[in-house]
Amino acid sequence: MRAAAISTPRLDKMPGMFFSTNAKELKETDHSLLDDKTHKKRPKTFGMDVKAYLRSMIPHLESGIKPSKSKDILSVNEVMQWSQSLEKLLANQIGQDVFGNFLKSEFSEENLEFWLACEDYKKTESHLLHCKAEKIYKAFVHSDAAKQINIDFHTREATAKKIKAPTPTCFDEAQKIIYTLMEKDSYPRFLKSNMYLNLLNELQANSLK
């Protein structure tokens, strides 16, 4: 009898299995794996690069972190002070960034963006007030604004009138409402969030090493 031919399945065609037949790709993959292993063996340095540190510790912390101009060391005391008041949290540059990313996770980042825009606006030179006021109004206050803030109709209308003859204080009423909203709503949730607690716990653990 004639023996039946046995076909050997091609590994690169088997379902659920993926193989690269490109030698260049294999070589690049090997280098990538080697780099990963080398990276894992490197000693963990704390406080040298806050941006990279926070990104590695909190996966969903996005690219909003800005490096400190003086030193990139974030202390346990600084982070603990964030829990004392929203004012202290926002007074810290990294605190602003971490809180901003928390607000992004809740789809309410426009509140902090508006508050910061108002803080910047107050420092604007008089001849630039009109241009900047228009931009802030169109971006956050106008009823059709892409990042419309949650303020009442009266405040929205009053702000619209004020920017026609802008002064450094024309957004104060709206800014106060948004600050109170963050203070009473988002800020307490932030202090209970994994984003804040993981950061604090990690800093405390590293301070003991």
Domain membership of residue 6 (yes or no) is: no
The pLDDT tens digits for 55-69 are: 554 444 433 334 333
CA dist., res. 160 & res. 199, Å (int): 41
Structurally, the chain folds into a number of domains equal to: 1
CA dist., res. 159 & res. 209, Å (int): 53
CA dist., res. 104 & res. 106, Å (int): 5
Q: Which domain holds residue 159?
A: 74-207
Domain membership of residue 54 (yes or no) is: no
CA dist., res. 162 & res. 154, Å (int): 12
Domain membership of residue 12 (yes or no) is: no
The pLDDT tens digits for 91-140 are: 999 999 999 999 999 999 999 999 999 999 999 999 999 999 999 999 99
Residue 89 in contact with residue 99, Cβ under 8 Å? Answer: yes
Q: What is the pTM of this model?
A: 0.67
Domain membership of residue 29 (yes or no) is: no
CA dist., res. 15 & res. 114, Å (int): 52
Domain membership of residue 128 (yes or no) is: yes
The pLDDT tens digits for 29-56 are: 444 444 444 444 444 433 434 445 455 5
Domain membership of residue 4 (yes or no) is: no
Give the CATH number of the domain where residue 108 resides.
1.10.167.10
